[in-house]
Structure 1
Amino acid sequence: MYEIKVSGMTCGGCVRSVTAALKSLDSMANINVNLSAQLITVESDKSRDEIESTIEEAGYTVLET
C-alpha cells in the first residue's frame, strides 16, 4: 500500500480524474482519495514510481513525504 501526498486536487472532478488515471494503470487497484488531506492511498501491484508517474501525467503534483 502506498500513501502519496498530492497537490493540485481541488474538487470532486479532480478526484474522479486521478482515480480514472490510476484505474487505467491497474484496473484491480484499490484507490482512496482524501481531497481535504490531499492524500491518495493506493493498493496495487504496480510500483510506486509507476503510480506517481500516472498521477503526474493526470496533471497533479506528487509531493515528497
Structure 2
Amino acid sequence: MIATAVRLRDEEELSLREIAGRLVIRTGKKRGEHPSPATVMRMLREHDERTATQACQIM
C-alpha cells in the first residue's frame, strides 16, 4: 500500500484525500475500507523519514 501511495503522490501529484480514496486496506478489522487521509499522511511521512535516514547512512 505504501508503494502505491508514494507513486500517487510523486508521479500523479494527488492530494491526501485522493490518495486515500484510491487505497484499500487489505487485512485486519478494517479490511476493504479506505484509510483516512491522516493515516496516508503518517505513512508517507514515516516512509520519507526512513528513506532520508538510509540515504544519510550510505553517504
Considering only CA atoms, is the larger Rg found in Structure 1 or Structure 2? 2
Work out whether the TM-score is over 0.5: no
- TM-score for the superposition, normalised by structure 1: 0.28
Of structures 1 and 2, the one scoring higher in RCO (CA 8 A, sep 6+) is 1
Greater helix content = 2
Greater strand content = 1
- TM-score for the superposition, normalised by structure 2: 0.30
